[in-house]
A and B are shown apart, each in its own frame.
Chain A
């Protein structure tokens, strides 16, 4: 933005703009790379804390240079292409994943004046481009000539398409609330009350579907190290693999910053003066908090199974997202006071969570007590040395 302005003044219309834009894009790429480096370091440190260890400690102060060492190692590694792979697709697939994940950043504002292109259809643009990376994953899976990779590619297609719908639905309800698809307008509309308070259900849907969209832990079905050994990436190594890695973390960061912008009021903060530099900090703080939650999930949760993933999407989350849109529409039509919307949205979230809890966890908790009593009485009644069938 700034580079373009200055260079257009200096060099005139066509060339100044082109060179300025190039500089800006390179700057964006550099910034994103640095963000990804910080994310990998943060993830390893956070996971280390969760797991009762220190995380990287050797390279630099508290391992702060570890991401750079990792990146260096990845670039220096031999880039193996399997003999039976479809070479062209194999080389192209990382780009097909990376480019869309980079493109969406063009319209994501980091502060109220810090954005490459403030599109009026920003949200639509982001959603539309985010879907494109599926093709890259399927390409990678297919061209690797590995069965694990093919399974992973197909899984990723099914998963990403399924979870794209709830993301769109959640975003639609936000767009209805703010009457705009422009991210800056959406953030400005939250200067009093962030949408997280008005739309807790939409927030839950967006966060769950977002985590699924970037394939992070409870939903890392298509990498699934213990089943299909890394899915579409199983045959990739070195620099090619690092491009996938970069794309994954950029996507994670994009989801986190979208949560911060759409639900937590972006650069506005209650009881704080609107200062440009501070806005940047607020967005960063909120985004990193959301990222921390995503990493926290990775530290604590196992992975879902592919059919459970699908049934969660189609039987729970997508119907809920439709319900959410209907509630929002009713609210807007009748012009209720905002706490009513909060109340309805929150109560639905809690009810559904409780229903899932009852269906999955409670039976096991109940049988725990029963079985302890059963084992105890069984051992006592039969004497200690008898062997027989318990049934």
Chain B
């Protein structure tokens, strides 16, 4: 799609249609201004910033341990994954070695959160497609995960649980029994969810060959996460730049081949099974031990700069941190995957129908807290 204004049928005027910020399908407060010719989308202008809170600037005024809670509020569907990235960045700057047990617990929580996030995606994508049952299935599974989170961290969302050098509390006593049960339920739930939607004829008709993006374009736009893997590019930070204990765990990276909406859905569905696999392995490998590295209460990393990234449910979440040796960062820059994924939206909307526009936006699985930060 070129940047000059485009028109549909010659001799007619395109209709401008505003989608959002209050629209059921924009997943928050995203706004698209579509120019449409009948049912076809000719062009789209995205408007973001309705949820801008200046997180990056705020971080410069907070101590390192206080930043973690700000990160909870970026991608508010996958809080643990966000917390992990800022902890990792600070630890990398300080040269800290996190105890094994804490690393395993972090990975378990992050993968559970990935499951919860993908379950939410499943539900909202179904809703975008016009099916109303998936959201119930997805939310039920997510609710189970959240109640486990509550027993671990005391909060269902916005946990503020990871610390620089480890985690806040050890696992509760009944954790093993609860998570075994939860994983079985999740496995069943994911299979049930798969059966309901993934190979449904109408769903296939709606998502197959819709919103195609090629591997080259995807890389050029900076797509990451399931959206990139749906095009067939095998890029996953957990494999390419292993962090925590991911290098000790055997799991596959699901790939798509066409880069259409169905592939993006399908990759996420497969990732849920892989996450369950990862958690099972973590539970086998985890051993007793300390959960915090010996650190001072107020972290004062040495002067320097660092980039840390991790595989969030939405893609490659990166943090660039500059320290001048104080207890607060000098500069903090985030690379939110949703923001970068959203950039490809206009490209994908070529020749789409209005209904497709909704599906394509849904399949990108953006979280506006992260896009606007």
Where the two chains meet, the residues of A that have a C-beta atom closer than 8 Å to any C-beta of B are 47, 50-53, 147-148, 151, 217-218, 220, 224-229, 298-308, 356-357, 360-361, 363-365, 367, 371, 374-376, 378-379, 382, 384-391
Contact = CB atoms under 8 A, between A and B. Distances in A.
Closest 3 CB pairs of A and B: A303-B130, A302-B129, A51-B136
A374 B258 CA distance: 13
B39 A226 contact: no
A391 B131 contact: no
A53 B136 contact: yes
A356 B201 contact: yes
For the residues of A in contact with B, the DSSP-based class is helix
Interface in B197-240: 197, 199-206, 208, 215-216, 219, 232-235, 239-240
A390 B252 CA distance: 15
A308 B208 CA distance: 12
B127 A226 contact: yes
Interface in B250-301: 252-257, 262
* Of listed B133, B253, B262, residue having the most chain A CB within 10 A: B133
5 contacts: A360-B201, A371-B254, A374-B257, A375-B255, A388-B233
B252 A301 contact: no
Interface of B: 15, 17-18, 23-25, 39, 126-133, 136-137, 140, 196-197, 199-206, 208, 215-216, 219, 232-235, 239-242, 247, 252-257, 262, 353-356, 358
A52 B137 contact: yes
A294 B367 CA distance: 34
Contacts of A228: 354
A374 B358 CA distance: 30
B267 to A, nearest CB: 9
Contact of A361 (B201, B240, B247, B356): B201
Given A51-B137, A390-B232, A303 B201 contact: no
B136 A229 contact: no
A144 to B, nearest CB: 14
B141 to A, nearest CB: 11
B24 A225 contact: yes
A375 B267 CA distance: 11
A386 B205 CA distance: 35
B24 A303 contact: no
Contacts of B197: 302
B130 A226 contact: yes
Nearest to A155: B39
Given A224-B130, A306-B353, A360 B25 contact: no
B205 A360 contact: yes
Given A299-B132, A302-B197, A361-B199, A390 B24 contact: no
Contact of A218 (B196, B202, B255): B202
A388 B17 contact: no
* Of listed A148, A306, A387, residue having the most chain B CB within 10 A: A387
B196 A375 contact: no
A387 B140 contact: no
A198 to B, nearest CB: 27
Given A226-B127, A299-B133, A304 B202 contact: yes
Contact of A301 (B15, B127, B200): B200
A388 to B, nearest CB: 7
A244 B242 CA distance: 57
Contact of A47 (B128, B132, B196): B132
A227 B25 contact: yes
A391 B232 contact: yes
B350 to A, nearest CB: 16
B122 to A, nearest CB: 12
Contacts of A304: 202, 205-206
